Structure 1
Amino acid sequence: MKVLGLILAGGKSERLGKLVYKRASAALPIAGKYRAIDFTLSNMVNSGIIKVGVLTQYNPRSLMDHLGSGKEWDLDRKKGGLFILQPYIGLNGQYWYKGTADAIFQNITILKRGDEDYVLIGSGDHVYKMLYNDLYMFHFSKSADITLLTKELDESYNIKDYGSVIVNDDMRIVEFHEKVENPPSRRAFLGVYFMNKHLLMELLYSTVPNEKYDLLLDVILPRINELKVYAYDFKGYWRNIKKGVNEYYKINMEIVENRKIREELFFKNGKVFTKLKDFPPAKFTATSDIENSIIADGCIVSGVVKNSVLFRGVTVKAGAKIENSIIMQGTLVEEGAVIKNAVIDKDCIVREGQTLIGDFEPVVLEKRMIV
């Protein structure tokens, strides 16, 4: 069985604010040296998918620079490989993607020309670790037309921000409520679809030309009684960074604080692959004090770092204090500066003696800011 992977990575999230002014949400750095898209892309590669299309749109430069030729994911190959699918001006006036279904429809050539039988569609801004093989077997055992990945969300999630799914005893979806005020179920849709490639093409041809552009709301849900749409429950750790700055902050802090989450994400079901960079090992001077933190390669730490994530090439001078914060690549924290409950983007400078302390939400510094 051959499966084509498609990753929806062109979204813009207003809720992420300054963090996505100059990058797509799928390119947001995670846990010291990874990007959000690394997780879904690695899941596909670890599941035996050797042909992956990444549909980009909003601020794609950083994401494309990260993906390159796909070498780090073993996708720089003659057959299959990595395909970057961007919007373009065509003879029929096609241009900006109007929705998820429209994005796939404008790139339907990748479906037509491939010899894959099935398509797995995922999102580039979800952080989780999964081998999709059990999803495949579930799909076939139910003789399903479409299988959606779902999860019972606990109280740490705001269920109103997710699509709520109701299933029968056989796990067939009978109702779907998209981001309603009082969801009838805590089983949420996780943005992953699995279906036959030819069925997907038929659905797109019958829907998108009629100006219906959303894969879930316009293509699948209106046919939920006609098609056999099933839910496959995922039991592991899963977060969606598009839900906002607090969610992005929470993901990184949970990775720092929870050993089980770290083991699940980085040691089970294959590796998480990412772009390699030529940095030396982290350096800790005699004045440094490190506690429960992720310190990436290339960092030079002379100050205090507690419960934080330092990305590659961060410099923390003597007397500086960083607590419960995320400091991205290339940032300089000078002597005596204090940073607590903050997200500091790439290449920022926090001057000597400055104080940045977040309250109900983390303080966010935009890329290359000097304070």
Structure 2
Amino acid sequence: MSRANVVGIVQAGGKGSRMGVLTESRAKPALPFGGNYQLIDFPLSNLHHSGIDEVWLCVQYEAHSLLEQVAGGRPWELDRTRGGLRFVLPQETSAADTEDGFATGNADLLYRVRDTIRARGAEAVIVMSADHVYTLDFDDVLATHRDADAECTIVTTRCSREEAAAHATVTARRDGTVTGFAYKPERPTTSVVAAEILVYRPDVLITALEELASETEPQAESGSDTGLGDFGEHLVPWFVARGRTVAHAMSGYWIDAGRPETYMQAHRDLISGDVGIDDPHWPILTRQPQRSAARITDGAVVADSLVSSGAHVMGTVRRSVIGPGVIVERGAVVSDSIVFADTEIRAGSSVAWAIVDERVVVGAGARVGGRPRTRPVPTEKITILGMGARVTKNATVPLGADVAPGRLVR
């Protein structure tokens, strides 16, 4: 199979409501990661290094935030006349009550762009989510797909049984043929899960989408909804039942960073060196504004942390990620937290187990978050400050609070 006749479809259209105030004004894949990156950088970098140079980015919610980050595909050499990066908007369905054609799940989104897929006539389409952290050579996945003459190939990984309940579990025979698929099971029977990276034969995919939509659309709650939902609800079970779906087990690190608790865990893994995204032969490419080097003032303490360019640390930072241009003043303490770009943590304040969005001001002597007792730390125990929020001098933001963008906390 020629990589020149393969299309990568990156699904970046959802609202990302699980991330709460962090996605009120940005698409979830535009969230920063590790100070220097955005989540969207991971699928685009993996596609680039795998030689897939035709990429469709499906955008919908707060699309402007992604358009700015991807810069026309330039960091991944996708700014070209033929192939390259293409922005795909969902099509309206034929339902009489359709209002805006916005998709209600990733399978529903594929249905809405099925005519675009049909017209392209590729040999294979690789469909992936845009909010996962991993490295993967898609050439290996395509080889598995080709050698098995599969209609669908599911990339799998392993996680804890507890985490598996938030994903789709997969069982397969020794030859790779998938025999069992359970979407978000209450009691998972395996720790093998779908990594939300799938290769489809386009003609069979279109048949599946149209056949399933004819069954699910009459039961949909609104006229603009096909009822297809996410890939695990109807689409992949349809493929598995046909007996020509195979699993491709990926090695290395993978995490769905789409919930505050997993987003926080991914950063803690990055700090500990478990993520493995620093391979010079497989770098994560990104668009970043040019800033001066970080400054660590005499008397500052920085331990087990990452400090981005343009930051100025005069206080104490432990087990945290400090974004570009962040200022941590003398006497301030940031621990077990993620701080986005251009935020100010003023003198004598403390920030613990928090995700602090960009351009936030934490006033002198303020207290944000605290130290949760539960491990792993659940979402409800992580304090989140939205973009541009202001915490006044000596104010307190309790453990697990969500502060809306722009809000003043006294």
Into which bin does the TM-score normalised by the smaller protein fall? over 0.9
CA displacement, residues 301-322 of structure 1 (integer Å, 9 cap, x when unaligned): 1111111101111111112111
CA distance in 2, matches of 1:49, 1:359: 44
CA displacement, residues 184-223 of structure 1 (integer Å, 9 cap, x when unaligned): 2111111111122222223223333542424432223134
State the partner residue of 1:169: 174
Deviation at 1:179, TM superposition (A): 1.1
CA displacement, residues 9-50 of structure 1 (integer Å, 9 cap, x when unaligned): 112333322222222221111101111111111111111111
2:45 and 2:285 in contact (8 A); partners too: yes
1:165 and 1:177 in contact (8 A); partners too: yes
Is 2:34 the counterpart of 1:31? yes
CA distance in 1, matches of 2:59, 2:370: 32
Return closer, same or farther for 1:223/1:115 CA change in 2, 3 Å cut-off: closer
2:309 partner letter: D
TM-score by length of 2: 0.84
| Aligned with 1:131 (options 133, 137, 149) | 137
Show structure 2 runs of 5+ residues with no match. 218-226, 373-380, 392-410
1:146 and 1:228 in contact (8 A); partners too: yes
Deviation at 1:268, TM superposition (A): 5.9
State the partner residue of 2:383: 363
Is 2:342 the counterpart of 1:336? no
Which secondary structure state, in structure 1, belongs to the residue aligned with residue 122 of structure 2?
coil
Deviation at 1:269, TM superposition (A): 5.4
2:175 partner letter: D
Where do 4+ consecutive residues of structure 1 move more than 6 Å?
none
Is 104-113 or 180-189 further displaced after alignment? 104-113
Show structure 1 runs of 5+ residues with no match. none
| Aligned with 1:196 (options 194, 197, 201) | 201
2:260 partner letter: V
State the partner residue of 1:48: 51
State the partner residue of 2:13: 10
Q: CA RMSD in A?
A: 2.0
CA distance in 1, matches of 2:200, 2:48: 18
Deviation at 1:227, TM superposition (A): 4.1
| Aligned with 2:236 (options 195, 207, 220) | 220
Deviation at 1:228, TM superposition (A): 0.3
| Aligned with 1:317 (options 326, 329, 332) | 329
| Aligned with 1:266 (options 260, 278, 288) | 278
CA distance in 2, matches of 1:98, 1:306: 40
Q: Percent identity?
A: 25
| Aligned with 2:363 (options 344, 348, 351) | 351
Is 85-94 or 310-319 further displaced after alignment? 85-94
Deviation at 1:245, TM superposition (A): 1.1
| Aligned with 2:62 (options 59, 63, 70) | 59
> What count of residue pairs does the alignment treat as equivalent?
366
Deviation at 1:276, TM superposition (A): 2.5
Is 354-363 or 139-148 further displaced after alignment? 354-363
1:131 and 1:269 in contact (8 A); partners too: no
| Aligned with 2:120 (options 111, 114, 118) | 114
1:45 partner letter: H
